[in-house]
Amino acid sequence: MEYLAYAAFFLTLAMTFSIICLGLNVQWGQTGLFNVGVAAFVGVGAYTSVLLTTPATPDRIGGFGLPIAVGWIGAAGVSAVVSFLVGALTLRLRSDYLAITTFGIAIALQLCFQNIEVLTGGVFGVGFIPRAFGSVQANALLFNYANLALAAALVVVLYLVLEHLARSPWGRVLRAVREDEAAAQSLGKNPAALRLQAFALGGAIMGLAGAVQAHFVGFISPPNYLPMLTFQVWAMLIVGGSGNNMGAILGAVLVWAIWALSGSLISEVFPADQQARAASLQIVVIGVMLCLLLLWRPQGLLPERQTISKHLGTRHDT
C-alpha cells in the first residue's frame, strides 16, 4: 500500500519535471537557445500561483484565494512575460553569453524569492498551499493517484500541443532559421522575433510546471529554485534526447528515478551524521551518467526525428 502511494508520488513529481523539460526543449531542442536559468522561470511560476491561490495572510501581500486553475494560468502568463522581457534583453547575444546572462538572472531572481519577504515569505517559504484534490488528502493513495492522473493528463495535452506546433508553419520557420539564418532572413523572416516567441513559450511552460509542483507538494521555499534544478532539467533533456518531446518526458522520468533511488540508497547506507555530505553523491551519480551517455549516445536515448510539417494531404489526394 505504502509503496503504491509512493510510486504515485514519485511519478507525479516526475510529470512536473517532464513539463519543465518540455519547456526547455522548446527553447534548446527546437530553437537552440542556451537557457541556464531554468530554475528561475519555474520559481516565478510557483510563486505567482501561490500568491494567487493562498488565502489572505496578514504578513504577506496577497493571498487572493483564487482557484488553483487560475493560479496555473497566472503562473504560465507571468512566466511568459518575464521570459519575454529577459529574452528581449538577451536574445541578441551569442549563445555562450546568453548562457551567462540567464544564469545571472536566475541567481538574481532566486535572491528575490529569498529576500522580498512581503511577497514570498522569505527564507521560510510558503506553506499550506491549496492542493488539487485536497478534500481526499487523508487518503494518501487516492490523493496521490488523483494528482498523478491530473499531472499526466497535463503532460499529454502539452505534448500534443507542442507536437502540433512543431508541425505548424511556426515550427517550420523555426527549423528554417536553425538550418540557415541568412537564407531565412533573405526570405523575409525575422529570426529575433521567432526566437523571442520560443523563449517566452518555453518560459511559460516552465512557470506552469512550477505552479503544478507547488500545488502538489503544498510548500515552496527559495532553495527549491537553486541552479541545481537547472542542472537536473538539463541532464533530463540531454539524457532523453533534445529536440524530441517524447525524449524530454522519458529523460525526466529516468533521471528523476535515478535521483530519487540514489537518494534513498544513500539514506539507507550512510549513518545519520554523514548523510548531509553523502547527499552530494546524488549529483555525482547524475554527472557520471551524463558523461557516459554523452560518450556513447550523444544524441540522447530518443534522438531528434526529422519533423515534416503537415501539408494538408499529399499531392496525390489533392
Partner 1 sequence: MSNPALSADGLSMSFGGHNVVRDMSLNVGTGELVGLIGPNGAGKTTMFNLLAGTLRPKAGVIRLAGEDVTDRSQQGRCGSGLSRSFQIPKPFARMTVLENVMTSAQGQVGENVLSVLIRPGAVAAQERANVARARALIDFVSLSHLEDRPASVLSGGQRKLLELARVLMTEPKVILLDEPAAGVNPALLDLIIDRIADINSRGISILLIEHNMDMIARLCSRVVVMAAGRLLAEGAPQEVTRRPEVVDVYLDGMPS
Say if residues 42 and 20 touch (Cβ distance below 8 Å).
yes
Phi, psi of 99 (to 5 degrees): -60, -45
Are the beta carbons of 168 and 26 closer than 8 angstroms?
Answer: no
Structure-block grid coordinates of residue 165: 506546433
- Least Å from the CB of residue 154 to partner 1: 16
- CB-nearer residue toward partner 1: 271 or 306: 306
Return the ∠ at Cα 149 (arms to 146 and 154), rounded to 5°. Answer: 130
User: How many CA atoms does the CB half-sphere of 80 hold within 13 Å?
Assistant: 12
Which stretch of DSSP H or E encloses residue 182? helix 181-186
Q: How far apart are CA 25 and CA 165, in angstroms?
A: 13
d(CA 22, CA 110): 22
Distances (CA, A) of 151 to 14, 109, 198, 221: 9, 26, 23, 21
Q: List CB contacts of 10: < 8 A, sequence separation 6 or more.
A: 256, 257, 260
User: Three cell numbers at 156?
Assistant: 499529454
Q: Which residue lies nearer to partner 1 by CB, 114 or 309?
A: 309
DSSP H helix total and E strand total for the chain: 13, 0
CB of 168 to partner 1, least distance (A): 4
Nearer to partner 1, 277 or 310 (CB): 310
Residue nearer to partner 1 on the CB measure, 164 or 277: 164
For partner 1, which is the closer residue by CB, 190 or 274?
Answer: 190
Q: Of 152, 127, 132, 154, give the one whose Cα is nearest residue 143.
A: 132
CB of 292 to partner 1, least distance (A): 28
Rounded to whole angstroms, how far apart are CA atoms 213 and 85? 24
**Nearer Cβ to partner 1, position 190 or 280?**
190
The DSSP bridge partners found for residue 239 are: none
Residues making contact with partner 1 (CB under 8 A): 161, 164-165, 168-170, 172-173, 175-176, 179-180, 182-190, 194, 197-198, 201, 306, 308-309, 311-312, 314-315, 318
CA 87 to chain centre: 17
Closest CA to 275 of 265, 288, 261, 286: 265
